[in-house]
Amino acid sequence: MAETVQLLLYNFLEILLGVLLLFGGGELFVQGSVTLAVTLGIPQLVIGLTLVALGTSAPELFVSITATLQGSADLAVSNVVGSNIFNMMMVLGSSALIVPLQVDKRLVNRDIPLLIIVSMTVWGLASTGRITWQSGVALLVALTINTIWEIFTANEESDSIIEVTSNNSENLEVNHILYASFKVLIATILLVVGSETLVYGATGVARNLGVTETVIGLTIVSVGTSMPELATSVVATIRKRTDLAIGNVIGSNLLNQLLILSSCGLASGSHGLMVQEIIINRDFPIMIFTTLACLPIFWTKNCISRLEGSVLVSLYLMYLLDQVFVLALPTVRVQVGLVILCIAFPTLIIVIFMRALVSWYQKKYFYWINFFQ
């Protein structure tokens, strides 16, 4: 018993160290790549759509690929799904508790529907029990098309910003390139070492507690790798950049599926990336459901209020509670799950849709008042 506790403590320290290394590596990667791109004359908007989003998703990418190469497919898939659930519920909810988040119409009209379509497509691909390398190629093609589309539409709307950034970049010194390249190199090393450490610690915890890697991936690992998204969105919210806070979540969730799952599918070779039945039947639907639930939240005056933020945080805490009962009290987990599923979830969803309905009626009412005036 004492030896098991000692091993668990050691494993949790490995997880903590891995998370810290990933956090530092992700931050350095963003700093270095952005500086390098600006120095080379790449538009700032393009950097935001690609490098910053990739930087915040780098921990998930390195952890999932490392897990796949080490034969821990359950950890790789559950990390992606768990991170997406954490982002939509906890990151958006926590940010809204600080300051109500103003939602750009483009998010409601384009990005959220796109995320829903991608999520349902990935769920369909995974429903066979594996994500094949052919599916990985298809997801990468979709990512390429979406990135080109993002850049093209962004360039149409923001030519002046791009021109200013390009002109300023000509004045940067060559030393910045070397310094930025050094940062990217150090960041890559930190990400590799951090992902190795985190995966090793997580598999150790699963082995010593006697639970599946799926549970560990959906909780400890996914929360740890999502810390850059949480930090980025909270800081952006404090600085009144709520558009960046929301865009960071949506962009990361798209990258998690289109880039990370596709890369893991390719890395898994001819046998494909195995997906557990419980993830297909429970966690993928929850991931899609939370994204769908955000649409009526975004409709309420194009804003995520503090009340709606608290609803999102509450949803995640209930989801986490359901996962924790696997470890602590497996005998009563079914009863707790039924209470959450039949009472708590419907109540919160009714609150969300009622607020959306009231907001919609208010908009229609003011529209007709203005029309007849």
The predicted model gives 128-136 an average pLDDT of 91
Banded model confidence at residue 165, pLDDT cuts 50, 70, 90: very low
Average pLDDT over residues 85-104: 87
- Residue 5: exposed, middle, or buried by beta-carbon count in 10 A (0-12, 13-18, 19+)? exposed
Q: How far apart are CA 121 and CA 116, in angstroms?
A: 9
The whole-number average pLDDT for the span 338-363 is: 64
Q: Which residues, 6 or more positions from 50, have their beta carbon under 8 angstroms from its beta carbon?
A: 147, 151
Task: Name the percent of the chain lying above pLDDT 70.
Answer: 73
pLDDT of residue 162: 41
User: Range of 42's domain?
Assistant: 2-372
Residue 275 clears pLDDT 70, i.e. is over it: yes
User: Residue 352 pLDDT > 70, yes or no?
Assistant: no
Question: Whole-model pTM?
Answer: 0.78
pLDDT at 120: 93
Bigger pLDDT: 171 vs 220: 220
If pLDDT is split at 50, 70 and 90, which confidence band does 85 have? very high
Rounded to whole angstroms, the Cα distance separating 166 from 160 reads 10
Name the percent of the chain lying above pLDDT 90: 13
CATH number for 152: 1.20.1420.30
pLDDT of the residue at 155: 53
Q: What's the confidence (pLDDT) of residue 324?
A: 66
What's the whole-number mean pLDDT along residues 62-89? Answer: 89
Does the structure show a pLDDT above 70 at 368? no
Please give the average per-residue pLDDT across 227-250, as a whole number.
77
Averaged pLDDT for residues 99-116? 80
320 CB contacts (<8 Å, ≥6 apart)?
Answer: 219
What is the per-residue pLDDT across 15-36, written as a single tens digit (0 to 9) for each?
888 888 877 877 787 777 777 7
H or E element that contains 130: strand 130-131
Residue 166 has what pLDDT?
46
Whole-angstrom Cα distance, residue 350 to residue 293?
10
Q: What pLDDT is recorded for position 311?
A: 82
Q: Per-residue pLDDT averaged across 309-313, rounded?
A: 86
Average pLDDT over residues 269-293: 87
What is the number of domains present in the chain? 1
